[in-house]
Structure 1
Amino acid sequence: MERIEVEQRTILIGLAGSHGYGLNRPDSDFDYRGVFIAPKRYYLGFDRIEQKDTGWDEPGIFSFLNGNKDTVIYELRKILLLLAGANPNVLELLWLNNYPFVSAVGQHLINHKQLFLSKKVKHTYTGYAFAQIKKMETHRKWLLKPPQKKPIPSDFAIEDEAPLSKDELNAFLEYLYNLIRGRIEFLEEAEQLYKLLTADIDFKGVLKQYTLPDETLEYTQNLTNSRKDFIRLLQKSQNYQIALREWKAYLSWQENRNPARAEMERKSGFDLKHGMHCIRLLRSGVEILRQGEVIVDRRIAGDVEDLRAILKGEYSYEQVMKMAEDLVAEMEVVYEQSTLPHKPDLEEINKLCMELVEMQGWH
């Protein structure tokens, strides 16, 4: 869809990112997030659209979006799914302080924001925080012990045959995922299984991101009716592809780092921005479980100066990691005490979706 078509059917636009958190500096980018409702053919025909995240140099209605590359406007059904899944980056959109544009339909969505709060936030907010920690640890490793050369197959004992390609690996792991999923879906519900299945873990992503452990190889061989030598080659190829991916990421990191951020990272020994976002996410998750609301603006939450201190390098890597560890422990406690539902009411969310579409109309 063209930019102007999306904007004509936009129901709200919020200023998110550092401005939403109250952590912006004079040179901070403007991150806009919004919602639009697609025309009739996208609901009743074959056309599909999930979001508009490019083309902001096209003619449009909202001049503040002109040329802004940090803009995403989600189609209603896509964002409702993300909201129901307690996606941290999307959930905050309904709790912002600054909306450059809100229609009556958009306000109706904001008025129903409590529908999307559930105990799922424990899993999603800690998951996003751990992703920040993973980036911190990776960058720290590159700072302290940078890789010396591009990996080659022989580094992983792949001598007489070619390693499996990324596409070949993904095809096999997709097949493995479907076999495993077929077994999980028919298990009877138990408490531990319930927690596992409601955690919104991307099991397919886990399979494709990490090497199969030794203890799973025999099971995988039997489950997939594969040869033992193929399963071993699969494991070696995974190690090789992961190392190759990390090498490419290292080169990209070196080439594209913001110079000021790189200097702060060099002095402190870790990426300060990832550290700050890790703590912000964990504190927000605790607040939601405890208070039943999302406090986006950290000036209101009362920890904006503390988060700025992390960004300035006033906390060591060890101190930030200890903060994260304490917050994860606190999250476990407040999760048990929280009065939020275990999961959102999807039937009510479905009704809200229909209400919003009907309010917008097809004109």
Structure 2
Amino acid sequence: MKRIEVEQRTIFIGLAGSHGYSLNRPDSDYDYRGVFIAPKRYYLGFDSIEQKDSGWDEPGIFPFIDGNPDTVIYELRKVLHLLAGANPNVLELLWLPTYPILTDIGQHLINHRKLFLSKKVKHTYSGYAFAQIKKMETHRKWLLNPPAKKPIPSDFGIEDEPPLSKDEINAFLEYLYLLIRGKIEFLEESEQLYKLLTADIDFKGILKQYALADEALEYSQNLTNSRKDFIRLLQKSQSYQIALREWKAYISWQQNRNPARAEMERKSGYDLKHGMHCIRLLRSGLEILQRGEVIVDRVIAGDVDDLKAILRGEYTYEQLMKMAEDLVAKMDICSEQSTLPHKPDLEHINGLCMELVEMQGWE
């Protein structure tokens, strides 16, 4: 859809990111996030759209997003799925301090924002926090022990034939995942395992992220009727591709780092921005479990100065990790005590979706 078509059906746009958290600096970007409701052909026809995240140099209605690459406007159904899943980056959109654009329909959605809060936030907020820790640990490893050279196939025992490509590896692992899922789909005693592998965790993503363990090779060979030498080449190729991916990420990190951020990272021994967001996410998840609301503005939450202290490097890596560990322990306790439902009411959310579409109208 063209920009102007999206803006004509936009129900709200909020100022997110560092400005929403009151953690912005003079040079901080403006991150705008919003929601629009697609017209009839996207609901009843073949067309589909989930979000508009480019094309802001096209003619439009809202001048404040002209040419701003940090703008995303989600289609209603996409955003409702993310909200129901307790996605931290999307949940906060209904609690932002500032909405440059807010229609009556957008306000109606915001009025129902507590409908999306559930104990799932314990897992999603801690999961997003751990993703920040993983980035921090990767950068810390590069700081303390940078890769010596670009990996080559022979480093992984691949000599006589070329390594499998990323696409070849992913195609095989997709097949392996489907076979594993099929093995347990109709076994009554494996119902919880099936749910775990298909809904609760990204098992397919884990298969593709890590090389197959030695103890899994024989089972994978038998399940897929593969040759033993192919399975071993698959494992070696996975290890090579993972190392190559890390090397490319390391080079990109070196070349694209903000100089001031790189200097602070060198002095402190870890990425301060990732550390700050880790703590912010854990505290936000804890607040939701305790208070039943999302506090985006960290001035209101009362920890803006503390988060800025993390950004200034006033906490050591060890202190930050201890802080994160304590917050996770608190979330475990508060999740048990919280009055929030275990999961959102999807039937109610589905009704709200239809209600909002009817309010907007098809044309």
- Work out whether the TM-score is over 0.5: yes
Does the 8 Å CA contact 1:124/1:199 hold for their aligned counterparts? no
The answer to whether the aligner puts 1:271 opposite 2:234 as a matched pair is: no
- Inter-CA distance 184–102: structure 2 relative to 1 (3 Å threshold): farther
Kindly tell me: are residues 59 and 177 of structure 1, through their superposed partners in 2, closer, same or farther at Cα, counting changes over 3 Å? same
Match of 1:222?
222
User: Residue 142 of structure 2 corresponds to which residue in structure 1?
Assistant: 142
Query: CA 1:191 to 1:277, structure 2 compared with 1: closer, same or farther past 3 Å?
Result: farther
Find the counterpart in structure 2 of residue 16 from structure 1.
Answer: 16
Aligned to 1:314: 314
SS in 1 for 2:13: strand
Give me the TM-score of the superposition, normalised by structure 2.
0.96
Query: Secondary structure of 2:33's partner?
Result: strand
Equivalents in 2 of 1:265, 1:49: separation in Å?
39
User: 1:306 is paired with a residue of what secondary structure?
Assistant: helix
Distance in 1 (CA, whole Å) between partners of 2:31 and 2:168 is 37
Query: In the TM superposition, what is the alpha-carbon distance from 1:345 to its structure 2 partner?
Result: 1.2
Q: Provide closer, same or farther for how the CA distance between residues 172 and 194 of structure 1 changes in structure 2, counting only shifts above 3 A.
A: closer
CA distances 1:136-195 after superposition (whole Å, capped 9, x unpaired): 011111111111111000101111121110000010111112222334544547897599
Match of 1:351 in 2: 351
CA separation in 2, counterparts of 1:219 and 1:240?
22
Cα gap change, 1:183 to 1:344, in 2 (>3 Å): farther
Deviates more, 1:194-203 or 1:13-22: 194-203
Q: For 2:197 and 2:287, how far apart are their aligned partners in 1? A: 24
Q: Deviations over 1:241-260 (max 9, x none)?
A: 00000010011111111111
- Partners in 2 of 1:290 and 1:343 — Cα distance? 16
Could you tell me which residue of structure 1 aligns to residue 159 of structure 2?
A: 159
What's the offset of the Cα at 1:118? 1.2
The answer to whether the 8 A contact 2:36-2:73 is kept is yes
Contact 2:184 2:190 in 1 (8 A): no
Specify the alignment match of 2:338 in structure 1: 338
Contact 1:7 1:36 (C-alpha < 8 Å) held by counterparts:
yes
Distance 1:194 1:231 in 2: 25
The total of aligned residue pairs comes to 363
Deviations 1:223-258 (A, max 9, x none): 222222211111111100000000100111111111
Q: Which runs of 5+ in 2 are unaligned?
A: none
Distance 1:184 1:231 in 2: 22
Counterpart of 2:58? 58
What CA distance in whole angstroms lies between the structure 2 residues aligned with 1:145 and 1:224?
Answer: 39
- Equivalents in 1 of 2:197, 2:342: separation in Å? 12
After superposition, the CA RMSD in angstroms is 1.7
- Alpha-carbon contact 1:123-1:200 (below 8 Å) kept: no
Aligned partners of 1:189 and 1:124: how far apart in 2? 27
State whether residues 119 and 340 of structure 1, in contact with CA within 8 Å, keep that contact through their aligned partners in structure 2.
yes
**Please, which runs of 5 or more residues in structure 1 have no aligned partner?**
none
SS in 2 for 1:54: coil
Instruction: Please tell me whether residue 209 in structure 1 is matched to residue 198 in structure 2.
Output: no
Work out whether residues 36 and 74 of structure 1, in 8 Å CA contact, stay in contact via their aligned partners in 2.
yes
For 1:356 and 1:242, how far apart are their aligned partners in 2?
Answer: 45
Q: Does 1:83 align with 2:72?
A: no
In structure 2, what residue type is equivalent to 1:17? Answer: G
Q: CA offset at residue 8 of structure 1?
A: 0.3
Cα distance in 2 for partners of 1:191, 1:323 equals: 37
Cα distance per residue 1:335-356 (max 9 Å; x no partner): 1112211211111111111000
In the other structure, the counterpart of 1:123 is 123
Q: Is the 8 A contact 2:181 2:194 kept in 1?
A: no
Correspondences of 1:190-201 after superposition (within 5 Å): 193=193, 196=196, 200-201=200-201
Correspondence for 1:70? 70
Q: 2:195 & 2:339 partners in 1: Cα distance?
A: 17
Amino acid at match of 2:132: Q
TM-score by length of 1: 0.96
Give deviations 1:31-76, integer Å, cap 9, x for gaps. 0000000111111110111100001111111111011110000000
* SS of 2:24 mapped into structure 1: coil
Alpha-carbon separation, structure 1, partners of 2:186 and 2:16? 41
User: Matches of residues 172-191 of structure 1 in structure 2 within 5 Å?
Assistant: 172-188=172-188
SS at match of 1:98: coil
Supply the AA of the counterpart residue of 1:329: A
Larger mean CA deviation between 210-219 and 41-50 belongs to 210-219
* Partner of residue 248, structure 2: 248
* Paired AA for residue 247 in structure 1: W
Question: Which region of structure 1 is more displaced relative to structure 2, 176-185 or 101-110?
Answer: 176-185
* Partner SS for 1:295: coil
Where 2:205 maps in the other structure, the secondary structure is helix
Mapped to 2, the partners of 1:222 and 1:197 lie a distance apart of: 20
Aligned to 2:288: 288
Paired residue secondary structure (2:131): helix
2:35 maps to amino acid: V
Residue 29 of structure 2 corresponds to residue 29 of structure 1: yes
Residue 27 of structure 1, CA deviation: 1.1
Q: Are residues 1:92 and 2:92 paired?
A: yes
SS at match of 1:266: helix
Distance 1:152 1:327 in 2: 42
Letter in 2 for 1:169: I
